Amino acid sequence: MLEFVLVDHLRLALDAALLFAVGLFVSWPVVHYRLEAISRLPLAVFRLVLRLIGRSPGIPRMAGVIWGFNSVAIFVYMASGYHPLLPKLFGIWVGMNIGIIMGMARHAEDLLQAGAPAPGQWAPPPLLGTVCGALVLVLELPCFWFAIAMGIRMGQAVQSGEPYLAAVAPRAMAYLCVIVPVLAVSALCEAIAIRGSAGRGSHHDDTTSTTTED
């Protein structure tokens, strides 16, 4: 399974990474010019995820929501490979959506506020939060790129005459056995990183508030 995912699809995964980078680049004018027609959908999905997470959730719940959302969404991107063009478009589209969410600071602040620890909840130390944030990039993005790569290869096979179900079955099994567990680890790291950043922001706000009152 590992060889099938990581070796057989390596070149296409690199192509997917380039498509993702194109999407990030495309997001700049959307954010800069506030093109609401394009940004409305990704921001609506982002707000839905925030509602599922809730206010001051425990790390298991935060990680579970992130894991579930990423696992389902990325599988859909891969399974779109009835034609190789569709996963490629998703590669650009997801990069653009992430760029839009990252570029609109207010929505990033909403995520930190949602993940802020309630009194008595564990807050990770700064170093652990930083390490977990880096691990998210190392784990989650390659999962997306390799899933897109499997979708592209599947699209090539389907367009060459292989039945869609016969093409998707081995890739779905590889996705379940390889990518889904890695996404679980990434989701846990992301929850810890969010909690760490939110905790530091909350502590800073409390300090500022106390200083102002004094």
111-126 residues labelled b (16+ CB within 10 A) or e (exposed): bbebbbbeeeeebbee
Per DSSP, the residues of 27-79 read HHHHHHTT-HHHHHHHHHHHHHHHHHH-SS--HHHHHHHHHHHHHHHHHHHHH
Is the Cβ–Cβ distance between 187 and 64 less than 8 Å?
yes
Distance CA 196, CA 97 (A): 24
The whole-number pLDDT of residue 210 equals: 38
pLDDT band at 204; cut points 50, 70, 90 = very low
The whole-number pLDDT of residue 214 equals: 40
The whole-number pLDDT of residue 205 equals: 46
- Ranges of H-type helices in the chain: 2, 10-32, 36-53, 59-79, 85-103, 105-115, 126-159, 164-174, 180-213
- 30 closest CA partner among 116, 130, 101: 101
pLDDT in tens, 172-195: 999 999 999 999 999 999 999 988
Structure tokens at 22: 């194109």
pLDDT band at 108; cut points 50, 70, 90 = low
The whole-number pLDDT of residue 116 equals: 64
Mean pLDDT of 45-51: 89
Mean pLDDT of 101-115: 69
Mean pLDDT of 1-9: 90
Mean pLDDT of 19-43: 93
Distance CA 72, CA 170 (A): 17
pLDDT at 55 over 60: yes
**What is the greatest pairwise CA distance in the chain?**
74
Mean pLDDT of 2-23: 95
pLDDT at 213 over 50: no
Q: What letter does residue 179 receive in the DSSP assignment?
A: I
Task: Assign residue 161 a region (left: φ > 0; alpha: ψ between -120 and 50; beta: otherwise).
Answer: left
Mean pLDDT of 140-159: 97
pLDDT in tens, 119-143: 667 778 888 989 999 999 999 999 9
Domain ranges of the chain: 2-199
Q: What are phi and psi of 33, to 5 degrees?
A: -100, 5
Query: What's the whole-number average pLDDT of the chain?
Result: 87
Mean pLDDT of 150-167: 96
pLDDT in tens, 86-102: 999 999 999 999 999 88
The whole-number pLDDT of residue 103 equals: 87
pLDDT at 153 over 90: yes
